[in-house]
A = this chain, B = another copy of it.
Amino acid sequence: MNLADCSSHSATARLLHFGSPGAIYLRRFVGSLHVGRCGSNPTHVKTLRLRSNPPKTLTVTAAMASEAEVAASAKIIDGKMVAKEIRDEITTEVSRMKDAIGVVPGLAVMLIGERKDSATYVRNKKKACESVGINSFEVRLPEDSAETEVLKFISDFNDDPAVHGILVQLPLPKHMNEQNILNAVSIEKDVDGFHPLNIGRLAMRGREPSFVPCTPKGCIELLHRYGFQIKGKKAVVIGRSNIVGMPAALLLQREDATVTIVHSRTQNPEQIVKEADIVISAVGQPDMVRGTWLKPGAVVIDVGINPVEVRRLPLRLVGDVCYEEARKVVSAITPVPGGVGPMTIAMLLSNTLSSAKRIHNFQ
């Protein structure tokens, strides 16, 4: 358990934006870390009732500490388990659709360039598709491809009736115009939900987006499935990126929370976060949000996945929130890893299924 001390990360903490849209990026934390008490080793078991139909009792884990700490520790919001539950539901629906109308949902993923992290994300998406019975189509193009070549593939996928979702893995090579390429994806197949028309509909009362961006959708889904009330609650979203922070705020707003977005220009962010019943953090700064920032009893959804290096120890992933401190203050928190991460791909599959259902008018 003696891995790192949150205070050493936070000494250099600033609010940053995610570099670019796509999956959650891993930011490399460079700097010396004191060896102290941070990190989690889930061994303590709690049971928690999830809101689902029919309700299920699930086993969740909380990080082990002293007896006194255990008494005060938060429920763990188990994204891995919820994501599995969702994948199971999708598997059933994909199968039902195939049996009823002979259609199998299809997701096309485009990878341009040789980035290893991007290749891993694409591989994981492909695997996830296979696991639920969704067809996946993959296009890999070299780093120096022309933008027109990418646009041609997108155009073909737009017209292909076997493809119901199109995802262009970001970031793109620098010579390409991301906006042009994302705008070329048909709004009906924009399963990433990044099209401004989708974001506009998300922001507007009385409008419905075709798709909601996967990571923020996953955050809200966790709150729903664990039965946490959103309506009337004070919510703070830390970070205002196009792919997580802003759409998460818009989703909370749609559910009648009173929402504040905290960002790099916010003065006294800790005071604002301290008032929140619900905190969604998506900045990519390891352990930035300390226990003292949090309101007792708050619910914390930690989107950050930050690799930290501790001398002579393997790379470790931590969230934006200092987990060890937070779990003594809040009522529930997502772990990192195993919180929001697995939900993102589950929501991508969910969006692809929804798209296929909509295109084929299948209920």
CB within 8 Å of B: which residues of A? 17, 179, 195-207, 231-232, 234, 240-242, 246, 250, 253, 256, 258-263, 265-267, 272
Could you give 16 example pairs across A and B, Cβ below 8 Å? A17-B205, A179-B206, A179-B207, A195-B200, A196-B207, A197-B197, A199-B199, A199-B203, A200-B202, A200-B203, A205-B240, A205-B242, A205-B246, A232-B266, A232-B267, A240-B253
Check A258–B253 contact: CB distance below 8 A.
no
A202: B residues at CB distance < 8 A = 200, 203
B198 pairs with A241, CB closer than 8 A:
no
Instruction: Evaluate contact between B203 and A203: CB separation under 8 angstroms.
Output: yes
CB distance from A278 to the nearest CB of B (A): 13
- State the oligomeric state as a number of copies: 2
- Whether the Cβ atoms of A206 and B263 lie closer than 8 Å is no
- A199 contacts which chain B residues (CB < 8 A)? 199-200, 203-204
Q: Which residue of B lies closest to A271 (CB)?
A: B275
Decide if A266 touches B258 in the complex (CB within 8 Å).
Answer: yes
Residue in B196, B232, B272 whose CB lies within 8 Å of A204: B196
User: What are the nearest 6 A-B pairs in CB distance?
Assistant: A200-B200, A196-B200, A199-B200, A256-B265, A260-B260, A258-B266
Find out whether the CB atom of A246 lies under 8 angstroms from the CB atom of B207.
Answer: no
Nearest CB in chain B: distance from A339 CB, A: 25
Which applies to chain A's interface (DSSP): helix, strand, loop or mixed? mixed
Name the B residues within 8 Å of A272 (CB-CB).
Answer: 258
Taking a contact as CB atoms under 8 Å apart, the answer to whether B246 and A204 are in contact is: yes
Query: With A200-B196, A242-B206, A246-B204 in contact, is A256–B267 under 8 Å at CB?
Result: no
Alpha-carbon distance between A278 and B259 when the two chains are bound, in angstroms: 16
For A231, give its contact among B198, B201, B206, B265 (CB under 8 Å).
B265
When chains A and B are docked, how far (Å) is the Cα of A73 from the Cα of B199?
42
Rounded to whole Å, the gap between the CB of A243 and the closest CB of chain B is 10
- Closest CB in chain B relative to A273 CB, distance in Å: 11
User: Knowing A200-B196, A240-B205 touch, does A263 contact B267 (C-beta < 8 A)?
Assistant: no
Chain B nearest CB, measured from A72 CB (Å): 26
A284 to nearest B CB, angstroms? 15
Q: How far is the CB of A341 from chain B (nearest CB, A)?
A: 23
Please name the residue on chain B nearest to A260 by beta carbon.
B260
Q: Are A258 and B267 in contact (CB under 8 A)?
A: yes
Least Cβ–Cβ distance between A137 and chain B, in angstroms: 27
C-alpha gap A238/B259 in the complex (Å):
12
CB distance from A68 to the nearest CB of B (A): 33
* Residue of A201, A203, A260 most packed against chain B (CB within 10 A): A203
Residues on B with C-beta less than 8 A from A204 are: 196, 199, 242, 246
Nearest CB of chain B from residue A213's CB, rounded to whole Å: 11
Bound form: Cα–Cα A192–B297 in Å: 43
A266 surroundings in chain B (CB, below 8 A): 232, 258
A240 contact set on B, CB distance < 8 A: 205, 253
CA distance A272 to B236 in the complex (A): 13
- Considering only CB atoms, which chain B residue lies closest to A255 in the complex? B265
